[in-house]
Structure 1
């Protein structure tokens, strides 16, 4: 055996060992979740998937790295999702996070009232323990995932998570196809299809995954100079959640800096969310403001449960006028990133992804009401940057 052959074997083995270590850590996380989580859907997830992660740590040493990822996604996201949705349809009330019920109720309200939102007075009329579930802090498009249950009743396949998964898989496969399933795209696939932040979220809640997958698709389409299609993708994401708005703004700067149909991009990226919002505003504009603006901003009838101990929450709860201080720091961070964005605009989708990751990380860290789970967004955008950061930036036409 020559030194060259040994070197090639070592070069191929190194990423496999790193993957094996990553999957083993995921297995440990799943086992700890199964034993210690106070959230029953999370505990049920951990009880199922630690075996899959452990098997993945072994399999990646034996078969191609790309082949392990779909197997792990099936074992750690789709399988527990299927189990929990079947158990829920059979009567278990502890097999879905609250956001699943909220989205399904949005779909039901949309069918029966023309808007997915309850008004301030309607929420106030609910018994106090039920008021939190009366809020729907999403954009109107999220109600689409609740329509199957509204139309066909309770069944495992009408669970909103099933349709979150369908949309996520479709967009992720399209994204990876645009990136030619290259080796450099493996961390991106792992960040959405293997990382527990994402697999746990998809199996137990799931509403963030279609938003993330659409945003990644928009980045991949922009990397292929398909800015009109990118605008449609990020516009659809914005019709689901406002988390997509920073993505749309950064991609608009990219379209402007590279002269790639910025007007068409803006028309779709910003127009689609506005069109989705219009019916809700026409039916009851104040109900939308109560659900999507006042409640997330801390001015609803009840307090948002999104209170992970990140810096913004700690500052808001520990200091005099802490909420004001946290919001001031958030605005300062946003201004710094915006200034850098204007002074040194991105010239590639990879650079755009880096800006998006920085902005969302600042927002998640400094917002007074936030969750650890939202970190799945910057992690995935950093993985996209990694898949692109050696690509030559285009020269403006």
Structure 2
């Protein structure tokens, strides 16, 4: 399936970066499929490596060395240069759609290496490509999220519903059945390698490999949102708030994640943890966005909020035939109808958080994915590629966090198979 998907790009009127990716990814997927059918012990590992090499490494290196990318990569790199020159990433009076910066100021961080190392064409210039640092941020967030999920939470379990590891008077050491089932620990064990292969295969899939190679600007947002949910599931409000602040300073589409993470924190850590996480998230976002908002308030509003919703001076290139876009094309009445539906959908998701709050990483990621899907489908301007973000969140929650819903074995209640021994009776009492 992936090979067929990649094979289409070289033969259709797709942008050049997509065609280059397809020419490298299709052979890689085919070789990976052959290796997966092999009966050799390392067939799975070889298959994942071939898929990663063909769909990620080869096209990524080729595209970076030649400087071939989607237009948003140039926008991010220009915003980094503008930030160094004028402390704000927005041009005061853009003349073309290519001069518009539809991102919040945090995205300019990924353009700073290009501003420092210079243009592409040389090795130092290639190291300044924004896609490289977007990929580093995404993979770093996955690594940090996996460590956070495997790390024991302080106090009651923060992943499986917050039940105490001491309740019921049951022994935590006695031989017998583990609460994990079958005596298998939730951390480590034979499933660790399988989960690693699954994550590698997903990174090599078109849903991640294609944007990573041709654009990459949405991957840091995805990684930070997933990391924030992982910290919230482990009852770490400050860390979750910092990850949320970083994500919310990249794109305003990350803002709904604050509500999801806060409700997850409230479920596991109570009101105090939820308030701490919310204060850190909102305060951190304000600190990161406020300088540009004060230096160029008009351009920020026009380029970050009005332009993506189709109300700016230039028409947005995000014009996929999604329901919100089709309504907006009907005129002002259709545009207001799309916005009304968008607000109604957002309100419905918010009410669902109050009525049935998420209780674990997977349920929180699913709720955020639903909210983002509603936003992307009903927004007055959008594209199909945006839907990769909620899909990636939902899949990562199952691959990275699904196997760790339970606490590690040393923090869990272990049900003993033998009755507890009666307390010894004092000898003097027996003598009586």
Bin for the TM-score computed over the shorter chain: 0.7 to 0.9
Conservation of the 8 A alpha-carbon contact between 1:184 and 1:386: no
Aligned 1:29-40 pairs, distance under 5 A: 29-40=5-16
For 2:180, the equivalent position in structure 1 comes to: none
Structure 1, unpaired ranges of 5+: 1-24, 89-94
1:13 aligns to what? none
- Which residue, out of 379, 389, 392, partners 1:367? 379
1:41 counterpart residue number:
17
User: Which residue in 1 is equivalent to 2:290?
Assistant: 278
Match of 2:183 in 1: none
Q: SS state of the match for residue 318, structure 2?
A: coil
1:383 partnered with 2:395 = yes
1:339-373 Cα shifts (integer Å, max 9, x gaps): 11111111222211111011111111111211111
Within 2, Cα distance between the matches of 1:185 and 1:266? Answer: 32
Tell me how far apart the structure 2 counterparts of residues 59 and 206 of structure 1 sit (CA, whole Å): 28
Aligned 8 A contact 1:115 1:283 in 2: yes
**What pairs up with 1:1-397 in 2 under 5 angstroms?**
25-62=1-38, 63=42, 65=44, 68-69=47-48, 71-88=50-67, 95-119=68-92, 122-123=93-94, 126=95, 131-154=96-119, 155-177=125-147, 178=149, 181=192, 183=194, 190-191=201-202, 193-260=203-270, 261-318=273-330, 321-387=333-399, 391=405
Structure 2: state its 5+ residue gaps: 120-124, 151-186, 408-432
What SS is found at the alignment partner of 1:321? Answer: helix
Relative distance call for 1:307 and 1:112 in structure 2 (3 A) is same
Structure holding more helix per residue: 1
Structure 1, residues 110-139: CA drift from partner, whole Å, max 9, x if none? 0111100112xx21xx3xxxx101110111
Q: How far 1:203 moved relative to its partner? A: 0.5
Is the 2:80–2:112 Cα contact (8 Å) retained in structure 1? Answer: yes
1:111–1:240 distance in 2 versus 1, CA, 3 Å: same
Q: Is the 8 A contact 1:106 1:117 kept in 2?
A: yes
Bigger RCO of structures 1 and 2 (CA < 8 A, at least 6 apart)? 2
Aligned residues: 354
The verdict on how the C-alpha distance between 1:78 and 1:168 changes in structure 2, with shifts beyond 3 A counting, is farther
